[in-house]
């Protein structure tokens, strides 16, 4: 049989390199072998280390004596003269053993919970975790918690109690913003992320946790801004409401005057008939005149301001700038209706569009007086549903033969057309 001494030098080099690599693999598998309770694995590992090391030393000595023409040790000569198949069998057996140990350890890591697997698991969490004894000495802390300690305090996480005291009292770095102190502190880091912390004690073990609350904080900030805007709008509406009350009272006085004029006309007609025909009951005209006098005595004094002047005052009080183009129509009935439409448009512009500017345009087209109301507020996303205000305005407009259009695209617009001669026109709702 072929001995080790008779094989080519390249084969000897390959065998020695393989034995060295095998020895490294055996050393690397030392930890799982010695962590096991079985003694057979430890004995096998010691045997493999001894045999591979001895073979490597013997073959290295053979190479050295051959190069320097030195005398060869009898044991070295005997081992090198053995058939090469025997050392190859030993090498193969040790290789199988090393592969077995490695594959077994891999399977164990995937199916058995170990200390390293626990640490690896909590390091992969999106939140920070730290466990410590009551004295503050850290038992386990994941990667995120260590990074947060560096980012917020600028030092390593060594004592959980010291760490929590610094968090709860907001003793942090200058570039870190403390959003909340106390039992649930939260901080905004220089990268814009927000972290909230919690502290608890479970079975004499301190637990400090950290959660990324950036999204929740963003929603909170947006809600605060919306509340500020709503408060401002509410203040404007309150101020405007005070002016609208006066405008409403003016409208009621106007309605009262119309009723009084109508009642006076009826009283004059009855009186005329009574004077022509004296056989009528004499109490009838006196009763009618008493009712009219009572109505006149209850009438509130009419203010000197025009409806549009009162509207402009109300708009300024509500913080809305009014821009008027064109001339007011000369017809009083049309003027009063346009004033009511302006008041309704102002309310809707402030309440629904958050507008601070309103544009009124008066035009004349053929035999029609026209007005359009627009604003600089938020454009409506869909068609506008007419509520009580717009619905009542449409009825008043159509009652005197006018046309009312409510447009939402490309922007909100309220357009009213009133015939100058009071003749009704065919409605056209196209914007």
From the number of C-beta atoms within 10 Å of its C-beta (0-12, 13-18, 19+), residue 224 rates as: exposed
pLDDT of residue 269: 46
The residue ranking higher by pLDDT, 307 or 139, is 139
Q: Of 2-6, 75-79, 156-160, 288-292, which has the strongest mean pLDDT?
A: 156-160
Cis peptide before 410 (omega within 30 of 0): yes
Structure tokens belonging to residue 218? 């963003």
Could you give all domains of the chain from N- to C-terminal order, each with its CATH number?
Answer: 9-112 (no CATH), 125-212 (3.30.450), 216-304 (no CATH), 306-431 (3.30.565.10)
pLDDT in tens, 184-200: 899 999 888 999 999 99
pTM here is 0.38
- Dmax over CA atoms of the chain, in Å, equals 169
Phi, psi (rounded to 5 degrees) for 340: -65, -40
pLDDT of residue 139: 87
Q: How far apart are CA 268 and CA 185, in angstroms?
A: 83
Judged against a pLDDT cut of 60, whether residue 284 lies above it is answered with no
pLDDT of residue 84: 79
pLDDT of residue 374: 92
CB under 8 Å to 429, separation ≥6 — which residues?
A: 405
Asked if residues 53 and 79 have their Cβ atoms less than 8 Å apart, the reply is no
Asked if residues 32 and 104 have their Cβ atoms less than 8 Å apart, the reply is yes
39-68 and 74-81 helices, crossing angle to 10°: 100
pLDDT in tens, 98-118: 888 778 777 766 666 556 666
pLDDT of residue 303: 47
Phi, psi (rounded to 5 degrees) for 361: -125, 120
Q: For the residues of 157-186, what is the DSSP string, one character each?
A: --BHHHHHHHHHTT---TTSEEEE-SSS-E
DSSP 137: B
pLDDT of residue 198: 92
In the block, which residue shows the tokens 């080099």? 13
Q: Of 159-168, 300-309, 417-426, which has the strongest mean pLDDT?
A: 159-168
Q: What is the mean pLDDT of residues 313-334?
A: 81
pLDDT of residue 245: 65
214-276 and 307-317 helices, crossing angle to 10°: 160
pLDDT of residue 61: 76
Q: How far apart are CA 252 and CA 266, in angstroms?
A: 21
Asked if residues 268 and 250 have their Cβ atoms less than 8 Å apart, the reply is no
| CA-wise closest residue to 148 among 169, 119, 126, 117 | 126
Alpha carbon 239 to its chain centroid, in Å, reads: 33
Element (H, E) at 418: strand 413-419
pLDDT in tens, 224-264: 888 888 888 887 777 777 677 666 666 666 566 555 554 56
Judged against a pLDDT cut of 60, whether residue 298 lies above it is answered with no
């Amino acid at each position: 049989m072929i001995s080790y001494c008779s094989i080519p030098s390249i084969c000897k080099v390959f065998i020695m390199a393989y034995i060295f690599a095998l020895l490294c693999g055996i050393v690397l598998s030392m930890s799982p072998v010695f962590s096991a309770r079985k003694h057979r694995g430890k004995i096998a590992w010691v045997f493999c280390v001894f045999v591979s090391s001895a073979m490597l030393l013997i073959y290295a000595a053979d190479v050295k004596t051959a190069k320097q023409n030195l005398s060869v040790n009898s044991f070295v000569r005997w081992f090198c003269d053995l058939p090469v198949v025997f050392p190859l069998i030993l090498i193969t057996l040790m290789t199988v053993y090393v592969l077995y140990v490695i594959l077994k350890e891999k399977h164990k890591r995937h199916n058995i919970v170990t200390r390293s697997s626990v640490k690896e698991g909590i390091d992969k969490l999106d939140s920070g975790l730290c466990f410590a004894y009551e004295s503050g000495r850290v038992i386990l802390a994941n990667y995120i918690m260590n990074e947060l300690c560096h980012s917020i305090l600028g030092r390593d996480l060594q004592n959980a109690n010291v760490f929590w005291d610094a968090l709860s009292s907001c003793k942090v770095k200058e570039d870190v913003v403390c959003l909340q102190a106390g039992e649930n502190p939260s901080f905004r880091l220089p990268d814009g992320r927000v972290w909230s912390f919690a502290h608890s004690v479970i079975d004499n073990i301190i637990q400090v946790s950290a959660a990324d609350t950036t999204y929740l904080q963003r929603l909170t900030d947006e809600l605060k801004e919306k509340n500020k805007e709503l408060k401002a709008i509410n203040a404007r509406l309150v101020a405007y409401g005070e002016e609208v009350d006066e405008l409403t009272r003016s409208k009621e006085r106007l309605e009262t005057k119309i009723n009084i004029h109508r009642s006076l006309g009826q009283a004059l007609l009855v009186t005329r008939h009574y004077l022509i025909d004296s056989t009528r009951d004499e109490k009838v005209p006196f009763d009618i005149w008493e009712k009219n006098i009572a109505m006149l005595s209850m009438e509130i004094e009419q203010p000197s301001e025009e409806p549009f002047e009162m509207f402009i005052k109300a708009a300024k009080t509500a913080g809305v700038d009014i821009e008027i183009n064109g001339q007011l129509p000369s017809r009083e009935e049309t003027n009063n209706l346009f004033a009511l439409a302006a008041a309704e448009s102002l309310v809707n512009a402030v309440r629904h569009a958050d507008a601070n500017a309103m544009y009124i345009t008066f035009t004349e087209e053929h035999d029609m007086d026209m007005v359009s109301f627009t604003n600089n507020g938020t454009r409506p996303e869909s068609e506008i549903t007419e509520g009580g205000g717009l619905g009542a305005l449409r009825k008043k407009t159509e009652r005197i033969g006018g046309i009312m259009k409510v447009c939402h695209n490309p922007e909100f617009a309220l357009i009213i057309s009133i015939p100058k001669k009071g003749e009704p026109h065919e409605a056209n709702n196209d914007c």
